[in-house]
Structure 1
């Protein structure tokens, strides 16, 4: 019988990829679909029948409050005002003459009072004419962005003719519905996030501003209104938004969902001892909520504990492990595996050389 002259090769530790238990913001989201509305929105219309004299805006232009947007022809109204002002001057002179005569007892007091009454009457008529003149000038009631210009200079407009829309877009209102069972879990000020198909890589943040006072008896849902900042004016009224209300925001201990080893109703993880050759220790934990790829740990782990995230099926309790890398925001499983293959290739070349 031949004796084996070479010692048996020691079994290499099993390669694993790990992740650290980390404290990070967490919440239990409520999902819904919502529709955007402008913070302030108005359609400016004509209130008189007249032709357009001036248009002082361009499509999509940002304007400030009180800016003159549209001026209608007001020649007749201006003429009526000038005639009334001339009549006021005449009656004021009459009042002054009669007052002087009365001071010398040359005019009855009743004539003076009648003249003053006629003066007050014409002054009231002037105020009415000035108010009517305001109808010929359309000003922006607030800061905002105008819509399309659908009329031209010279167009004859009548009362109710829509001249231009104006929307305040720096803050948007987002209306959505939630089931009535969520009423006890939401309140004004609760944060939320919203996404749109138009900007799939952008998350818009906001908070609940108000909650409807009535529950729809058919759908058993309540309308909620949130506010989203829109400094770049990318959001538009009428857009459909995917909404997630962040219930119970808190800081939670989080690990990758792939680290879990379920057994019935219990959950286990494999913890690596960094001081002892990454030796594996099986540990039972209590978990809370889950979200895509992650799970909240309620008990059994501490922050910075190192757990096996990939390779749990190949290692056993008490065995040492070979750490290929630690997952984080800048690394991925395929990248770590590629780096390990490159290291093996370099080692093989060195041994062969």
Structure 2
């Protein structure tokens, strides 16, 4: 427990340090969306998978076309060594190869969008779409939160800046569970509200056994150093 000096308290609200609304980067049908709201995932897990059979077929066709163009370039370069082909024809065949390669690269980039991979470890907050639905480009699908590192937003009197700084320790009692967790100040806002004479600070602490969740509120207790 904090024991040094006089204790000062401030109300705070917990939020995830990282949160994202994942959206589709292509128009396709969802074939796999395995996680339900509240379920956990690891970084790199597949959160959404789309039906990309058409894109895969187009990629195979583009690869075959690129291989044909590559053989044409090889043949023309061999002919060029014997001065049996014009320089312009050789340049055109090389340009056609470059074009076919670029088209294949573009299709392969689309194939990467056929899966949405978890950008961090966390939990599903909200499912906006469902399995087997056809979605459009930029349509919201899934809201996820990084629950491995939580932040605590607090508004405190600006007079506390005489002793409070980044790294200051506190104990936070969660209203919903009665649990007390330890943390420390991570950031202090750059400006004081001149009307209320308050300033926003952000604290950090690691969640304990999943009992501390974004959206919970409570009281943070700071130990003011003795003068």
Query: Structure 2-normalised TM-score?
Result: 0.91
- d(CA) in 1 for partners of 2:224 and 2:163? 7
Aligned to 2:132: 154
- d(CA) in 1 for partners of 2:41 and 2:132? 23
Secondary structure of 1:215's match? Answer: coil
Aligned to 2:89: 111
Q: Structure 1: which 5+ residue stretches go unaligned?
A: 1-23, 251-287, 289-353
Q: Which protein, 1 or 2, shows the higher relative CO under an 8 Å CA cutoff with sep ≥ 6?
A: 2
Aligned with residue 53 of structure 2, among 54, 62, 75: 75
Contact 2:22–2:142 at 8 Å: present in 1 too? Answer: yes
Q: Structure 2: which 5+ residue stretches go unaligned?
A: none
Contact 1:170–1:231 at 8 Å: present in 2 too? Answer: no
Point out the structure with the larger strand share: 1
Secondary structure of 2:109's match? Answer: helix
Aligned with residue 182 of structure 1, among 153, 160, 173: 160
Secondary structure of 2:224's match? Answer: strand
Secondary structure of 2:129's match? Answer: coil
Q: Is 2:15 the counterpart of 1:37?
A: yes
- Report the alpha carbon displacement of residue 165 of structure 1 after superposing the two structures with TM: 2.1
- Report the alpha carbon displacement of residue 148 of structure 1 after superposing the two structures with TM: 4.4
Q: How does 1:176-255 map to 2 (within 5 A)?
A: 176-200=154-178, 202-248=179-225
- Report the alpha carbon displacement of residue 49 of structure 1 after superposing the two structures with TM: 2.4
- Report the alpha carbon displacement of residue 122 of structure 1 after superposing the two structures with TM: 1.6
- d(CA) in 1 for partners of 2:66 and 2:44? 30
- Report the alpha carbon displacement of residue 173 of structure 1 after superposing the two structures with TM: 0.2
Classify 1:192/1:153 alpha carbon distance in 2 versus 1 (closer, same or farther; 3 Å): same
Query: Structure 1-normalised TM-score?
Result: 0.60
Contact 1:190–1:247 at 8 Å: present in 2 too? Answer: no
Q: Between Structure 1 and Structure 2, how many residues are aligned?
A: 226
1:139-172 CA-to-partner distances (Å, cap 9, x unmatched) read 1011112234443321122234332222221221
- d(CA) in 1 for partners of 2:138 and 2:84? 56
RMSD over aligned CA atoms reads 2.0
- Report the alpha carbon displacement of residue 110 of structure 1 after superposing the two structures with TM: 2.5
Contact 2:121–2:147 at 8 Å: present in 1 too? Answer: no
- Report the alpha carbon displacement of residue 193 of structure 1 after superposing the two structures with TM: 0.9
